[in-house]
């Protein structure tokens, strides 16, 4: 497994996300990203950051969250976006679970069903949950809607 990190600061979230993704891709070299972890300072609007990062990464699976600042091996970076890319022999995919907070039992059953269908090579299951206010269903990518 190979990893790379890019960090950027800009006036808006789209530009910061774009620059951070560009740096991470350059450091990854010829390897294709299999998973992106995006950490954005809370000053940036999440949709803008996502637009900037996904403009370079396309439909690569992403996990993201906001934080007061980012932290890398180069130090503490306030008002920034960090993008970590992983490449290697692993498989990742996206499972959209709207309404997960309303029915924990139903959500757990869906997760178990999804995980059991992929048992053949699965060694770890990582769950990311977030409570994000979405402006409208049109902002959700069609393949997740």
Superfamily of domain 1-90: Tubulin/FtsZ, C-terminal domain (3.30.1330.20)
Check residue 99 and give its pLDDT. 58
Q: Copy the structure tokens of residue 59.
A: 């439909």
List the Cα angle 39/136/62 in 5-degree steps: 25
The pLDDT value given to residue 102: 62
User: For 16, phi and psi rounded to 5 degrees?
Assistant: -65, -45
For residue 106, CA distances in Å to 17, 23, 42, 133 come to 34, 40, 31, 22
Domain limits of the chain? 1-90, 95-134
Overall residue count recorded for the chain in this entry? 145
pLDDT of residue 141: 44
Higher confidence at residue 87 or residue 104?
87
CA 20 to chain centroid, in Å, comes to 13
Task: Report pTM.
Answer: 0.68
Cβ-proximal residues to 123 (8 Å cutoff; 6+ apart), any chain: none
Mean pLDDT over residues 20-27, rounded? 97
Ramachandran angles phi, psi of 43, nearest 5°: -70, -20
């Amino acid at each position: 497994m190979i990893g790379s990190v890019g960090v950027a600061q800009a006036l808006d979230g789209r530009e910061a996300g774009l620059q951070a993704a560009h740096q991470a891709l350059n450091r990854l070299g010829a390897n294709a990203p299999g998973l992106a972890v995006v950490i954005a300072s809370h000053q940036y609007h999440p949709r803008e950051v996502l637009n900037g990062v996904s403009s370079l990464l396309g439909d690569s699976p992403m996990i993201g969250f906001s934080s007061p600042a980012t932290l890398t091996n180069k130090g503490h970076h306030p008002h920034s976006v960090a993008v970590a890319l992983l490449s290697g022999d692993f498989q990742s995919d996206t499972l959209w679970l709207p309404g997960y907070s309303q029915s924990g039992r139903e959500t757990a059953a869906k997760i178990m069903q999804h995980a059991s269908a992929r048992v053949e090579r699965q060694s770890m299951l990582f769950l990311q949950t977030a409570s994000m206010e979405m402006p409208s269903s049109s902002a959700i990518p069609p393949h997740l809607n």
